Amino acid sequence: MIDLYTAATPNGWKVSVMLEEVGLPYEVKTLNLSKLDQKQAWFVKINPNGRIPAIVDGNEDDLAIFESGAILIYLAEKTGMLLPSDRKNRSQVMQWLMFQMGGIGPMMGQANVFYSYWNEKYQPAIDRYQNEVLRLFAVLEERLPQNEWLGGDDYSIADIANWCWVRTHRWTGVSVDELNHVQRWMAAIEARPAAQRGVNVPSSQDTLREADEDKARQLIQSIQKMVQH
């Protein structure tokens, strides 16, 4: 059994979507980020960086793995799924996975903080990160007319990683209305049953919903506390 230490965030969803896609049994261990569960000594033994997600694979002598991209690669190699074995296609998938890890995730994360979560509004920071997110989205838009999926002909961990972030673009304050190919790609993943299940882990009630202003406000207040640490 795999234990998944997670919360309702894009990085957390990457791993739960992957686990749903490959069909491995797993048990969800939900961390309360606003209460800083991720900084507790017991969890830092699993992930020295004190962040979610992390997994512990009980089938491999309780092997602990942190960093969402590393977890995706581990699960892909463990199952032989969603990561090509030939050098050329594997390289393509890995490049687009690293694109998310080094670009989409960090830039959207910073934009989210300054646009949605920070107590004060500092417009130069908002503009800087939103503009960089738009630039990165344009890179996706240029890639997707050439290929059905980011890594080529087949759906892969690169699509999972990028989609789990791009789907939250409203909280970054960035629109995809003019990005037709990105919209097509997003809809194709959204239609996958495993993706639908994965983004409801640990629970859909913990995610930001535009229709529920009170819950959104409470969650934003919790995140404001979290981003100070």
Contact 9, 38 (CB under 8 A): no
Low-confidence residues of the chain: pLDDT under 70:
204-229
Contact 64, 47 (CB under 8 A): yes
The CATH number fitting domain 87-196, selected from 2.160.10.10, 2.30.42.10, 1.10.10.410, 1.20.1050.10: 1.20.1050.10
Q: Where are the domains of the chain?
A: 2-81, 87-196
The CATH number fitting domain 2-81, selected from 3.40.50.10480, 2.60.120.380, 3.40.30.10, 1.25.40.10: 3.40.30.10
Contact 201, 16 (CB under 8 A): yes
The HSE-up count of residue 50 (CA atoms within 13 Å, CB side) is 12
Q: What is the pLDDT of residue 172?
A: 97
Q: What is the pLDDT of residue 209?
A: 40
Q: What is the pLDDT of residue 224?
A: 55
Contact 157, 76 (CB under 8 A): yes
Q: What is the pLDDT of residue 228?
A: 52
Q: What is the pLDDT of residue 226?
A: 52
The fraction of the chain above a pLDDT of 70, given in percent, is 89
